[in-house]
Structure 1
Amino acid sequence: MIKVGESLASGTAFIGVAPTKRGLVDVFVDCASGSQLGDGSYVVSEVLPPDQARELLTKIILITPWLQEALALSAVDGWLAGDFPN
């Protein structure tokens, strides 16, 4: 679970992505009051096959500029800390 702050509105969002024992992916996105994912949703909670989870998460990121910014900053912070993906 990662916690990101919004750049244009107050509040935070919680994003969780975890594999399940059945080979599916548990996706949970909870945006703070006042934030929108672009489609009017505030909470997304799904258990999906990996390809559908990838599609859903990609859509959420593409339509949410503050989330794009927060994820970019998180990646840069990780790089600077030496946390490189394998």
Structure 2
Amino acid sequence: MPDKTKRHLESAVGYGIGCAVLGLFGAACLTVFALLALAMPMTVSIVTGTLAVQAFLGWRKRRRRQATESSSASMSSSDRPK
């Protein structure tokens, strides 16, 4: 088998193993989360809600910052002498 083909095959096998490990880790995390939800539903609801609100506020802040940067960039380009 040529070296290039062998490297591609090894890389594909490596990615496959990595994806399988990542999938198993995700399944384990979901299982733990489900068990916690059964054991302490109020705590899990509060934590999940807090994380969702934090993610939303961060997204809104990034959007506002991008809008400010794009408007200041367009203003500075129109202010330049030609």
Q: TM-score normalised to the size of structure 1?
A: 0.32
Q: TM-score normalised to the size of structure 2?
A: 0.33
Q: Highest Rg: 1 or 2?
A: 2
Higher RCO by CA contacts (8 Å cutoff, separation 6 or greater): 1
Higher helix residue share: 2
Higher strand residue share: 1
